[in-house]
Amino acid sequence: MIQASLSGHQTMPEVVQKLRTLAVSSLARMYLPEKRLFAFRLRKKGRDGVLEGVSRRYTATALIGLAGEDRDVVTEVLGDHSLEDVCTGLLEHIEETDDMGEVALTTWAARAIRHARASEAAKALRMREPGKRPYCTVELAWALTALVLDGSDPSDLAQAEITAQALLSAFKEESEIFRRWPAGQVVPKLPAFVSSLGDRLPGLRTHVSCFADFVYPVQALSYYYRATGDTRAANAASRCARRMCQLQGQDGQWWWHFDIRTGHVIERYPVYSVHQDSMAPMALFAVGQACGEDYSDSIEKGLRWLVNPPEKAGSLIDAENEVIWRKVARRGPGKLVRGLQATASSLHSRLRAPGVDVLFPPVSVDYETRPYHMGWILHAWSAQGDS
């Protein structure tokens, strides 16, 4: 455990404990007992917080986080319901959904809480043939993690090998980062209503990878290596983790968009709090434990940014409202800058749209929070030390 002071008199353990406390209280606020689901998000409206929508993916992620917690914590969040009650609600819909990510996360959750019907979830996941059908890198990583968790049977491990090979094909040797899609897969055409120029013209962003494409493959391949001893998996996870840390911002920012051809940053913002306090740590903990490497300095830098981001006055950890706000972003229209940078860099790997920091400074705060963020905090900093 890192003992360094992050800001003033706050030590690393103190910040982590604060994050865990806020994660539990936020999950309790976002749980909808009448639906046995978590809301899609909690959004600031005036002085109050308003819940919007529901999400099965986020519910599964919340269960993954709560799986490592004591009964009292689970009761604080779910009230009269148990983890099994909520997971059963997800399992009732697993056959009918066409959302691969939901199936993978639900299987992961069912295995993490040792649900009696976890094998049904695994069967539903195998039937979707991750590694054979076209799925994005993040979804393949979730599937691989679910397939190699404790309780896996030989059919799961056979599917895991196919999934792992597809995931490894997404690893770009030259840049040491992962593509958004495995090699040889056809990227689906994105809808025309997407606001970013780069998203409306997907051919201009085939070279773009995002931070999630670092985190989940590193984590999944680390787990796969521990389950199978596959050294290719360990090598890719370790190399990508080191590259990820090399690209970390001077003040600890985990940047957002990268060029898979060179491994360089294409667009830095937004910086998401979930990347700083949970996604980066859980991936780096996983690869560190698998490969015997220490990434504590990078993890600490990421938390230091969250406590005191230089882009704004004050922390994204809002003690008064008992919430961790979602991100620091550029002040400007939607995804415009990301689209401009994707378009410019598609023309040449070194080309960037000029003047964006002046025209669109990174000073805006997204005043919302989502259950998956809180779930990943609990998973990354598990009370049982299993992360």
- The pLDDT tens digits of the residues spanning 59-80 come to 999 999 999 999 999 999 999 9
Percent of the chain topping pLDDT 90: 74
Confidence of residue 191 (pLDDT cuts 50, 70, 90): very low
**Please, is 25 exposed, middle or buried when counting C-beta atoms within 10 Å of its C-beta (0-12, 13-18, 19+)?**
middle
Q: Is residue 152 part of a domain?
A: yes
Closest C-alpha among 220, 224, 283 to residue 248: 283
Domain match, 300 and 174 both: yes
Of 47-51, 203-207, 373-377, the least confident = 203-207
Helix (H) or strand (E) holding 163: helix 154-169
Domain match, 237 and 221 both: yes
Domain match, 59 and 204 both: no
Domain match, 45 and 107 both: yes
How many domains is the chain built from? 2
Q: Is residue 6 part of a domain?
A: no
Domain match, 162 and 292 both: yes
Task: Count CB-CB contacts under 10 A for residue 76.
Answer: 15
Q: Is residue 209 part of a domain?
A: yes
* pLDDT score recorded for residue 67: 97
Q: Is residue 16 part of a domain?
A: no
Domain match, 239 and 301 both: yes
How far does CA 211 lie from the centroid of its chain? 8
> How far apart (Å, rounded) are the C-alpha atoms in residues 229 and 213?
23
Q: Is residue 192 part of a domain?
A: yes
Q: Name beta bridge partners: 293.
A: none
Identify the domain containing residue 100 by its residue range: 27-128+370-387
Helix, strand, coil in percent for the chain, rounding step 5: 50, 15, 35
Q: Is residue 8 part of a domain?
A: no
Domain match, 96 and 186 both: no
Q: Mean pLDDT across the stretch 81-109?
A: 96
Domain match, 184 and 282 both: yes
- Reading the block at residue 149, the tokens are 């968790």
